[in-house]
Amino acid sequence: MIKYLKKYWFFALLAPLFMLGEVSMDLLQPRLMSTIVDEGVLGLSNNNVGDLSLVITTGLKMIGLVLIGCLCGILSGVFANLCSQNFSNDLRKDTFSKIMSLSFSQTDQFTTGSLITRVTNDITQVQNLVTQAIRGFVRTFLLFAGGIICMLSLDLSFGVVVACALPLVLLTVVFFLRKTNPLFTVLQEKLDGVNNVMQENVSGSRVVKAYVKEEYEKDRFERANDGLVHTQLDVLLLLSYMTPIMNIILNISIVAIIKVGAIQVQAGALTPGNVMAAITYISQILNAVMRMSMIFQTVSRGMASGRRIQEILDCTPAIQGGEKLPTTKAGRGKIEFRNVSFAYPGMEHEKVLDGIDLIIQPGETFAILGATGCGKTSLVNLIPRFYDATEGCVLIDDVDVKDYPLTTLRDKVAVALQKSEIFQTSIRENISWGDPDADGGQIDKAAEIAQAAEFINKKPEGMDTIVAQSGASLSGGQKQRVAIARAVLKDSDILIFDDATSALDLQTEAKLYEALKTKHRDITKIIIAQRIASVKDADRIAVLENGKIAALGTHEELLATSSIYQDIHQSQLKEGGGEDGR
């Protein structure tokens, strides 16, 4: 991740430089205080007569140095934050961009909650690490090293105290950091669990309420949150032991400094002011070590988070685009499946599709029918390469889909799903996702084809109506029609309806298909549906069973030749009272 810091090297350089100025001012203060005590108060070089003017001038000098140190500290903080904030901004954008490039199988492997944690909390931890590295660490190291040098310059005998205290402090810090470091990775994983439960319950709140599972989900959230809290408590409990131990060592060191100083004062080798300065220096040294232990916690947690972010940045998208570009517009939209088999990643022994051979002609309206779980959605997911076939190949316009650049391939395909993804913005913007450059007339036309214009025009703000998150302010049928309008507006060579009309009544659905047939005759249309009434007017219908094409033909041909189709037809006649399901 160093490359993200290189861009802001100037800020990263200025922050420690100004911190050097602040620490220098802090290290000068004890010396000046020693002068006030020895000369201004005790008057050791003036027959024990104090000098008030010296106290005032030295005091003013100390105040001036404090102000200079304050200014340096402020500037150091400003530049450190400019560096860390911009660093995290770039890192977060790149991480999000990489997540967007991952295949469905890869995002499933990470889980949504974990990805959210990594883009938010983990990057914040790395940002804190950067801030501490260029500011906090520099301050503590300079105070530590500078304090030792300044104290030894007073009298080398103070080095005995430092030599005894430092090993104890360092052993304490190392012991507790070794105990807490493994817990930081666990802590982030527990946070993943909390985010997963939260994400599932927010997106699935209607199902939770419909099945009166609020208490169950509260218990599930409490278990995940309790795991997070217990891990945090384990870390905090360990660290709570460290602070008193460090304070004991600090106080013992101060007592030792006073004792050594007293001996040296009696021997005439030191002055009382020197002893006071030494006490201040030993406090600065040991406090710097204590702060260093806090910084090491930030470093440990930041490194754990950094590894989690690096996992995403190092992740190569499982689906890579090719370089073959289309040549002509004529006759576009031909789809061919050659001996295609497919199994989901991690379940290779369970084939969802097995030996599919199929050609869909340009401009054809092709329907796919079959029982739940027979592989209908899996089949069409191979066209825009949401997944890749495990065996065989899929071709569009006689070119293997793997040879197309992903953007080119997916520009050729428009998809409307049963679960319509609607975003928290205006209806107009939701539809214009299909073509950001479309004008108002094109958007209105797409809404008319999708049979959405009627309900949109009834809303006070029409197309500019703001939709609630996940389309919560629209009914299921309204969401589907907005999603269909979005797909229609894209004006691609291939239009896929994956059970996208399941929430529409048959009359509205019939109007939709009629409008598509009239105004988008040249587009290849693939319709996945559960109802025969939805597919009977298609040019051809494929019946899938157990991942294989069990029958293929027109509605009339299948009624005459396919027992599976006949069974579906008869069952829906009994349920609906007529061929149209009414």
Whether residues 113 and 246 share a domain: the answer is: yes
Q: Quick one: average pLDDT of 352-378?
A: 89
CA-CA distance, 166 to 138, in Å (whole number)?
A: 19
Whether residues 227 and 372 share a domain: the answer is: no
The pLDDT, as a whole number, for residue 211 is 67
CATH classification at residue 528: 3.40.50.300
Whether residues 132 and 262 share a domain: the answer is: yes
Whether residues 160 and 295 share a domain: the answer is: yes
- 469 located within any domain: no
End position of a domain, from candidates 252, 286, 313: 313
Q: What is the pTM of this model?
A: 0.72
Whether residues 350 and 307 share a domain: the answer is: no
- 514 located within any domain: no
The answer to whether 554 and 541 have CB atoms below 8 angstroms apart is yes
Whether residues 385 and 359 share a domain: the answer is: yes
- 510 located within any domain: no
The pLDDT, as a whole number, for residue 152 is 84
H or E stretch at 510: helix 506-519
Q: Quick one: average pLDDT of 471-495?
A: 85
Whether residues 254 and 399 share a domain: the answer is: no
- 26 located within any domain: yes
Q: Which domain holds residue 96?
A: 9-313
Say yes or no to pLDDT of 246 above 60. yes
pLDDT band of residue 577 (cuts 50, 70, 90) is very low
- 40 located within any domain: yes
End position of a domain, from candidates 313, 348, 379: 313
Whether residues 126 and 272 share a domain: the answer is: yes
H or E stretch at 527: strand 524-529
Identify the bridge partners of residue 494 per DSSP, sorted by sequence position: 413, 524
Whether residues 283 and 360 share a domain: the answer is: no
Whether residues 146 and 280 share a domain: the answer is: yes
- Pick 361 or 198 by higher pLDDT: 361
Instruction: Domain count for the chain, please give it.
Output: 2
**Range from 157-161, 229-233, 292-296 carrying the lowest mean pLDDT:** 292-296
- 460 located within any domain: no
Q: Quick one: average pLDDT of 194-199?
A: 80
Q: Which residue has the tokens 């395909």?
A: 413
- 432 located within any domain: no
- 185 located within any domain: yes
Say yes or no to pLDDT of 203 above 70. no
Q: Quick one: average pLDDT of 135-152?
A: 88
CATH classification at residue 166: 1.20.1560.10
DSSP state of 470: G
Whether residues 370 and 226 share a domain: the answer is: no
What's the CA angle centered on 153, arms 147 and 157, to 5 degrees?
95
> What is the distance, to the nearest Å, from the Cα of residue 219 to the centroid of all Cα atoms in its chain?
26
pLDDT band of residue 431 (cuts 50, 70, 90) is confident
Whether residues 19 and 82 share a domain: the answer is: yes
End position of a domain, from candidates 259, 284, 313: 313
- 421 three-class SS: coil
Identify the bridge partners of residue 359 per DSSP, sorted by sequence position: 336
